[in-house]
């Protein structure tokens, strides 16, 4: 069903498309038209008018709604698709991206097996080691745009592939958006953690930033990953953001690299 109540088209859009220009001596105050349409569509995603996994209106419907050409809408959607915010399906339409999708759920995981690919290993076996609510220290509050002392949820888990513990990670989440998230809920959920965030907490992670460095395994990592003390590991610190660049997760992981490697595509 197509909703029409949440977004109000800018009445200047149609005029801009038909060649409206700023008066002499003035600088145009608007961005390219397709960028304005992109912002309006993003507003619909942010307000959950179209939820993860749902079909958005067709290009023709959006063009009529915003009073612009179908080509302008297509260019806006092309950018959203390139940013993995929507997914085009041939003959079916355009859907809001969701981490429950097979091709999206490993979007932020760059650790690949030395032979085969991440999907060939099957789903990761997950063990929740710890889960607790506490007050954020300064080094946790800062990347999450919180104040020192604000409530956060901290969890530690181990991911194993084909029976071998491969990743141990500590995750911090702002307390307010994730009220009700518990270790038992995480333990029984079989899908990707980000998909759980979408369906039960309305938080959709859309992009992430990472810092990577080499470290030596300390006693905790050695025990959880079944490696020797001092074994080389890859340390990956990730901040994941929802719409409007709001940070929603701080994740610090230690990765084994004896059977895996970090892979990133540059373009």
Question: What gap in Å lies between CA 109 and CA 111, rounded to an integer?
Answer: 6
pTM of whole model > 0.85? no
pLDDT digits (tens, 9 = 90+) for 216-255: 999 999 999 999 999 999 999 999 999 889 999 999 999 9
DSSP code per residue over 170-207: EEEEETTTTTT--HHHHHH--S-HHHHHHHHH-----E
What integer pLDDT is reported at residue 218 of this predicted model? 96
Question: What gap in Å lies between CA 145 and CA 176, rounded to an integer?
Answer: 13
What integer pLDDT is reported at residue 19 of this predicted model? 41
Question: What gap in Å lies between CA 75 and CA 81, rounded to an integer?
Answer: 10
Give the pairing type, strands 125-135 and 260-262: unpaired
Question: What gap in Å lies between CA 252 and CA 202, rounded to an integer?
Answer: 23
pLDDT digits (tens, 9 = 90+) for 129-149: 999 999 999 999 999 999 999
CB 13 within 8 A of CB 68: yes
Report, as an integer, the average pLDDT of 163-171.
94
Give the pairing type, strands 93-96 and 260-262: unpaired
Count CB-CB contacts under 10 A for residue 121: 17
Question: What gap in Å lies between CA 33 and CA 14, rounded to an integer?
Answer: 9
Lowest mean pLDDT among 21-35, 56-70, 191-205: 21-35
């Amino acid at each position: 069903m197509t909703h029409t109540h949440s977004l109000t088209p800018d009445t200047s859009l149609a005029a801009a498309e038909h060649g409206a220009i700023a008066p002499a001596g003035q600088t145009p105050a608007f961005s390219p038209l397709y960028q304005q349409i992109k912002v309006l569509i993003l507003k619909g995603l942010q307000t959950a008018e179209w939820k993860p996994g749902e079909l958005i209106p067709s290009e023709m419907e959006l063009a009529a709604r915003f009073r612009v050409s179908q080509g302008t809408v297509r260019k806006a959607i092309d950018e959203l698709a390139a940013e993995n915010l929507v997914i085009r399906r041939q003959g079916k339409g355009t859907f809001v991206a969701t981490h429950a999708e097979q091709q999206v759920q490993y979007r932020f995981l760059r650790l690949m097996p030395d032979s085969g690919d991440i999907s060939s290993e099957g789903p990761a076996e997950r063990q929740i080691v710890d889960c607790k609510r506490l007050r954020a220290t300064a080094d946790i509050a800062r990347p999450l745009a919180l104040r020192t002392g604000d409530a956060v949820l901290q969890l530690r888990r181990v991911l194993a592939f084909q029976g071998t513990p491969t990743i141990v990670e500590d995750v911090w989440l702002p307390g307010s958006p994730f009220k009700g998230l518990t270790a038992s809920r995480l333990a029984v959920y079989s899908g990707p953690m980000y998909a759980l965030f979408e369906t039960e907490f309305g938080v959709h992670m859309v992009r992430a930033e990472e810092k990577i460095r080499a470290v030596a395994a300390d006693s905790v990592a050695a025990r959880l990953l079944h490696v020797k003390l001092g074994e080389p590991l890859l340390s990956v610190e990730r901040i994941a953001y929802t719409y409007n660049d709001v940070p929603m997760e701080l994740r610090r992981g230690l990765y084994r690299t004896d059977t895996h490697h970090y892979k990133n595509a540059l373009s």
